[in-house]
Amino acid sequence: MTLSLYGMESFIKANAQAKMARREIQSRQALYEAEGGLEWAKAQLRIDPSVISGNISFGSDQVQISILSSGGGYWVTSIAQSGQAERKITVYLQLDDGRWLETHYQELHR
Protein backbone atom coordinates (compact mmCIF):
# COMPACT_ATOMS: atom_id res chain seq x y z
CA MET A 1 0.00 0.00 0.00
CA THR A 2 2.79 2.41 0.95
CA LEU A 3 4.67 1.76 -2.30
CA SER A 4 1.49 2.35 -4.28
CA LEU A 5 1.02 5.72 -2.58
CA TYR A 6 4.61 6.70 -3.32
CA GLY A 7 4.13 5.64 -6.92
CA MET A 8 0.94 7.71 -7.26
CA GLU A 9 2.62 10.72 -5.67
CA SER A 10 5.55 10.46 -8.09
CA PHE A 11 3.17 10.16 -11.05
CA ILE A 12 1.14 13.22 -9.98
CA LYS A 13 4.30 15.31 -9.47
CA ALA A 14 5.74 14.27 -12.83
CA ASN A 15 2.46 15.04 -14.58
CA ALA A 16 2.27 18.49 -12.95
CA GLN A 17 5.87 19.26 -13.95
CA ALA A 18 5.17 18.22 -17.54
CA LYS A 19 2.17 20.58 -17.67
CA MET A 20 4.24 23.46 -16.27
CA ALA A 21 6.99 22.82 -18.81
CA ARG A 22 4.45 22.74 -21.66
CA ARG A 23 2.94 26.06 -20.50
CA GLU A 24 6.39 27.64 -20.26
CA ILE A 25 7.25 26.51 -23.79
CA GLN A 26 3.98 27.89 -25.14
CA SER A 27 4.53 31.19 -23.32
CA ARG A 28 8.03 31.62 -24.73
CA GLN A 29 6.86 30.62 -28.20
CA ALA A 30 4.10 33.26 -28.06
CA LEU A 31 6.65 35.88 -26.95
CA TYR A 32 9.01 35.07 -29.82
CA GLU A 33 6.13 35.16 -32.28
CA ALA A 34 4.93 38.54 -30.96
CA GLU A 35 8.47 39.90 -31.35
CA GLY A 36 8.47 38.50 -34.89
CA GLY A 37 5.29 40.49 -35.50
CA LEU A 38 7.10 43.67 -34.44
CA GLU A 39 9.93 42.95 -36.87
CA TRP A 40 7.37 42.33 -39.62
CA ALA A 41 5.78 45.72 -38.84
CA LYS A 42 9.17 47.48 -39.02
CA ALA A 43 9.85 45.95 -42.43
CA GLN A 44 6.39 46.77 -43.75
CA LEU A 45 6.57 50.38 -42.52
CA ARG A 46 9.80 50.87 -44.47
CA ILE A 47 8.03 49.70 -47.63
CA ASP A 48 4.66 51.38 -47.05
CA PRO A 49 4.29 53.89 -44.19
CA SER A 50 0.49 53.77 -44.55
CA VAL A 51 0.16 50.08 -43.58
CA ILE A 52 -2.23 49.68 -40.60
CA SER A 53 -2.41 45.95 -39.85
CA GLY A 54 -1.34 42.46 -40.76
CA ASN A 55 -1.44 38.82 -39.80
CA ILE A 56 1.37 36.29 -39.78
CA SER A 57 1.15 32.53 -39.42
CA PHE A 58 3.83 30.47 -37.71
CA GLY A 59 2.65 26.92 -38.29
CA SER A 60 -0.69 26.71 -36.52
CA ASP A 61 -0.01 29.86 -34.44
CA GLN A 62 -1.27 33.30 -35.49
CA VAL A 63 0.09 36.79 -34.86
CA GLN A 64 -2.09 39.87 -35.24
CA ILE A 65 -0.36 43.21 -35.78
CA SER A 66 -1.97 46.64 -35.66
CA ILE A 67 -0.23 49.91 -36.46
CA LEU A 68 -1.38 53.42 -35.55
CA SER A 69 0.42 56.51 -36.83
CA SER A 70 0.89 59.08 -34.04
CA GLY A 71 3.10 62.13 -33.58
CA GLY A 72 5.69 61.29 -36.21
CA GLY A 73 5.97 57.68 -35.07
CA TYR A 74 3.90 54.54 -34.87
CA TRP A 75 2.20 52.61 -32.07
CA VAL A 76 2.59 48.96 -32.98
CA THR A 77 0.75 46.19 -31.15
CA SER A 78 1.61 42.55 -31.81
CA ILE A 79 -0.56 39.81 -30.27
CA ALA A 80 0.51 36.18 -30.56
CA GLN A 81 -1.13 33.04 -29.26
CA SER A 82 0.57 29.67 -28.90
CA GLY A 83 -1.55 26.97 -27.33
CA GLN A 84 -3.18 28.55 -24.30
CA ALA A 85 -0.51 31.23 -23.90
CA GLU A 86 -1.03 34.71 -25.29
CA ARG A 87 1.55 37.50 -25.45
CA LYS A 88 0.87 41.11 -26.36
CA ILE A 89 3.64 43.60 -27.04
CA THR A 90 3.04 47.30 -27.64
CA VAL A 91 5.87 49.58 -28.78
CA TYR A 92 6.20 53.13 -30.01
CA LEU A 93 8.52 53.28 -33.01
CA GLN A 94 10.26 56.30 -34.49
CA LEU A 95 12.52 56.23 -37.53
CA ASP A 96 15.81 58.02 -36.77
CA ASP A 97 18.60 58.10 -39.37
CA GLY A 98 17.32 54.91 -40.99
CA ARG A 99 17.03 52.99 -37.69
CA TRP A 100 13.93 52.20 -35.69
CA LEU A 101 13.97 53.51 -32.14
CA GLU A 102 11.65 51.95 -29.58
CA THR A 103 10.78 54.70 -27.10
CA HIS A 104 8.08 52.72 -25.31
CA TYR A 105 7.82 48.96 -24.73
CA GLN A 106 5.10 47.12 -22.88
CA GLU A 107 4.64 43.36 -22.69
CA LEU A 108 1.58 41.57 -21.36
CA HIS A 109 0.90 37.85 -21.09
CA ARG A 110 -1.87 35.53 -20.01
Q: Mean pLDDT in runs of 10 for the chain (110 residues)?
A: 80 82 90 94 92 87 93 94 93 92 86
Q: For the chain, how many structural domains are there in total?
A: 1
Q: What CATH number is given to the structural domain containing 14?
A: 3.30.1300.30
Q: What is residue 56's predicted lDDT score, i.e. its pLDDT?
A: 87
**Residue 25, domain extent:** 2-109
What is the rounded distance in angstroms from the CA atom of residue 101 to the CA atom of residue 51? 18
Host H or E run for residue 79: strand 73-82
Give this prediction's pTM.
0.81
What is the rounded distance in angstroms from the CA atom of residue 53 to the CA atom of residue 90? 13
What is the rounded distance in angstroms from the CA atom of residue 26 to the CA atom of residue 20? 10
Q: Is the dihedral of CA 26, 31, 35, 38 positive or negative?
A: positive
